[in-house]
């Protein structure tokens, strides 16, 4: 039922267009710190959407998508510094690299299920920062020091936008393109195949759906989306470092999916606002206990949000059942002798 409701165009599309319009308006109203923070929110929303696609559509749980975020970030940095690609041309190329590697990782990984798949992706998240620091890759990754890149500047001699506003505008444009592509994908035959694997894997196999291939495709598309977010982050900040892509990032994205729910597009924006601003708020409350407070809030969200979502679904089903219930048919009553006269 949820899948069918999500497929109906209308309110969700209107909200998405309104959000994009508001974001584009903010491009001309903010600059400096707030332009950077808004761009960060857009990037995190895209990353959460990528993991949400994997969990919500195909039913696979990953604890390693921080590695794909980092892979996209480093791929973008390497293409800009070594292959001399322009910043925003490096984004689709980095996403393609992440998608291919995600698909290849997913082929054997999808044979695992439940906690075993989560452990495999968790191992990837643990190993990724160490690989970036390995001497074998230092010429590409910069080792422990990372990569420093030239900041993005406004092209074509445009004078009515600041550099940070241009970066925000391009971030919104690329995120809108990816969101639109994912929406069309999920609402088409591919999305139906993923949902069948998530809800009824045995029946899907019985009607000829290739479980391994479709799950690997879901993993690849999810990795490409998160990788695009990582590439946009490199373009925005102009710097990448191995210590930015630890297990904590993977867990943060998973918490983002818990906040957004398995299918809500608007929820990814809410999750991104939390992931972007919560650490700053916690640091102001107590600099020494920032990690403890942030972890406590994450745990509360993991336990509370699913319960709230379940309550909301039950309430919606109850309202729908009450609305669909037929009106009682009046039973005729025999007239008394006095009424007959």
Q: Is the pLDDT of residue 338 over 70?
A: no
Which residue, among 23, 20, 54, has the nearest Cα to 39 in the 3D structure?
Answer: 23
Q: How far is CA 91 from the centre of its chain?
A: 16
Name the band, by pLDDT with cuts 50, 70 and 90, for residue 25: confident
Task: Output DSSP code: residue 331.
Answer: P
- Residues in Cβ contact with 77 at an 8 Å cutoff, skipping those fewer than 6 apart: 147, 149, 234, 240
pTM: 0.84
99-136: pLDDT as tens digits: 999 999 988 877 777 778 888 899 999 999 999 998 88
**Helix axes 65-81 and 115-133, enclosed angle (nearest 10):** 30
User: What percent of the chain stands above pLDDT 70?
Assistant: 87
Report for 16-25, 186-195, 311-320: range of highest mean pLDDT:
186-195
- For the chain, what are the domain ranges? 2-246
- pLDDT for the residue 214: 87
- Quick one: average pLDDT of 170-181? 91
- Quick one: average pLDDT of 44-72? 92
Report for 84-88, 202-206, 221-225: range of highest mean pLDDT:
221-225
CA distance to 12, 109, 184, per residue, from 90 (Å) = 30, 28, 23
Query: What is the spatial distance between Cα 295 and Cα 181, in angstroms, rounded to a whole number?
Result: 34
- pLDDT for the residue 199: 80
Q: How far is CA 6 from the centre of its chain?
A: 16
Rg of the chain on CA atoms, in Å:
24
Query: What is the spatial distance between Cα 39 and Cα 16, in angstroms, rounded to a whole number?
Result: 17
182-194: pLDDT as tens digits: 988 988 888 888 8
CATH topology of domain 2-246: ABC transporter involved in vitamin B12 uptake, BtuC (1.10.3470)
> Do residues 19 and 269 lie in contact, with contact meaning Cβ atoms separated by under 8 Å?
yes
- pLDDT for the residue 1: 33
Q: Is the pLDDT of residue 158 over 70?
A: yes
Name the band, by pLDDT with cuts 50, 70 and 90, for residue 69: very high
């Amino acid at each position: 039922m949820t899948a069918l409701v999500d497929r109906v165009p209308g309110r969700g599309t209107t909200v998405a267009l309104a959000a994009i319009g508001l974001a584009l308006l903010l491009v001309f109203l903010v600059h400096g710190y707030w332009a950077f923070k808004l761009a960060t929110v857009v990037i995190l929303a895209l990353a959460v959407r990528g993991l949400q696609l994997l969990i919500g559509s195909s039913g696979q749980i990953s604890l390693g998508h921080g590695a794909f975020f980092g892979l996209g970030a480093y791929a973008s940095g390497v293409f800009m510094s070594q292959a001399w690609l322009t910043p925003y041309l490096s984004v689709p190329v980095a996403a393609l690299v992440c998608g291919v590697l995600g698909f290849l990782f997913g082929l054997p990984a999808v044979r695992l299920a439940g906690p075993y798949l989560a452990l495999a992706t968790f191992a990837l998240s643990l190993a990724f920062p160490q690989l970036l620091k390995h001497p074998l890759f230092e010429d590409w990754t910069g080792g422990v020091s990372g990569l420093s890149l030239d900041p993005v500047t406004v092209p074509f001699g445009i004078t009515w936008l600041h550099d940070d506003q241009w970066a925000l505008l391009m971030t919104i444009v690329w995120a809108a393109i990816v969101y639109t592509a994912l929406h069309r994908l999920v609402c088409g035959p591919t999305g139906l195949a993923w949902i069948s694997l998530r809800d009824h894997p045995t029946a899907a196999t019985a009607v000829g759906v290739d479980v391994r291939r479709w799950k690997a495709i879901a993993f690849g598309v999810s990795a490409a989306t998160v990788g695009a977010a990582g590439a946009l982050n490199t373009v925005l900040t102009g710097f990448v470092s191995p210590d930015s892509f630890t297990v904590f990032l993977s867990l943060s994205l998973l918490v983002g999916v818990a906040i957004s729910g398995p299918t809500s597009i608007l929820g990814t924006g809410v999750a991104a606002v939390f992931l972007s601003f919560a650490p700053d708020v916690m640091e102001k409350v107590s600099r020494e206990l920032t990690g403890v407070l942030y972890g406590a809030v994450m745990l509360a969200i993991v336990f509370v949000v699913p319960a709230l979502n379940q309550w909301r679904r039950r309430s919606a089903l109850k309202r729908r059942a009450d609305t669909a219930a037929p009106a009682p048919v009046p039973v005729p009553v025999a007239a008394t002798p006095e009424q007959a006269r």
